[in-house]
Structure 1
């Protein structure tokens, strides 16, 4: 019995030591895993900070580019409006000039026509014909 009890105690001690060894091994592994995960978290936080900084820079650059583009577009629209006004002014001046030239030419033709009519009336009258009868 005593030998059996001794064996039982020895078995308990062996089990205790084996469980203790397994516990320490697991604890060491978990500690190493926690450290590794903490390092990974730290690295990811650094990466996140860098990414956020880059994003902020990109946003400010994009905003600046948009502002520059908007300024260029506004400038081009202003130039286009000015060109439109200038061309409209030139067109009106040209049309007014053409209208004046047409009026002057028309007046010249009317004067010449009246002179010719008078001349032919006189010629008809010299031949004894009345222009209204014809």
Structure 2
């Protein structure tokens, strides 16, 4: 739309009202400026306070971050020390266990050798004992055989001796009886010579 043309009347009216309006506008502008300045000062104060708080928070955060970094470094050092200590302990334990395992293997090997030697000696001792048992049994059997033979020989000798003794006793008895009979006859004759009856005596 084309702009409207201004008439002279309108321009005159405006020209007449301009000085009044100018003062009012100036005062309004001044009040507005004072108000804007106050608002800006308040905003500046708020922002300054925010900046101070932000700086304080930033300083606090920096301090906390430094403390956290220090703690983190300390924890890393502690972790490294713990890892180093655990690694050292692990290596020491591993060396000890390796040494112990080697020693136990040597001990097992030695004991296995000793066991094999003992088993060998035991087998030899068992064979020797069995041999001795066999020899002893054979000797006992032989002695028993000899004892049985000796017993039968002694029994035979005893029977022969007793038979001889019986024979000798029979012979001796016969001789004594003959001798006794002769002696009795002689005594009877002597008693008869003395005039004695042998049956009375």
TM normalised by structure 2 equals 0.52
Residues 104 and 9 of structure 1: CA distance in aligned 2, closer, same or farther (over 3 Å):
closer
In structure 1, the residue matched to 2:76 is 9
Is residue 2:158 matched to residue 1:60? no
Residue 31 of structure 1, aligned match among 79, 95, 98: 98
Deviation at 1:77, TM superposition (A): 1.8
Deviation at 1:108, TM superposition (A): 5.0
State the secondary structure of the residue aligned to 1:30.
helix
CA-CA distance at 1:67 after TM superposition: 1.6
> 1:80 corresponds to which residue?
147
Q: CA RMSD in A?
A: 3.0
Kindly indicate whether structure 1 or structure 2 has the higher relative contact order, using CA contacts under 8 Å at least 6 residues apart.
1
- Secondary structure of residue in 2 paired with 1:3: helix
Task: Give the gaps of 5 or more residues in structure 1.
Answer: none
How far is 1:107 from its partner?
4.2
- Structure 1 counterpart of 2:163: 96
Q: Alpha-carbon deviations, 1:58-82, whole Å to 9, x = none?
A: 1111121122112112211211221
Q: Give the drift of 1:104.
A: 3.8
Give the alignment's TM-score, normalised by structure 1: 0.73
Query: Structure 1 residue 94: deviation in Å?
Result: 2.2
Q: CA deviation at 1:44?
A: 1.0
SS of 2:136's equivalent? Answer: helix
Q: How far, CA to CA, are the matches of 2:106 and 2:154 in structure 1? A: 71
**Which of 86, 103, 107 does residue 19 from structure 1 map onto?**
86
Gaps of 5+ in 2: 1-65
Between structure 1 and structure 2, the one with the greater Rg is: 2
**100, 113, 129: which one aligns with 1:46:** 113
Q: Number of aligned pairs?
A: 127
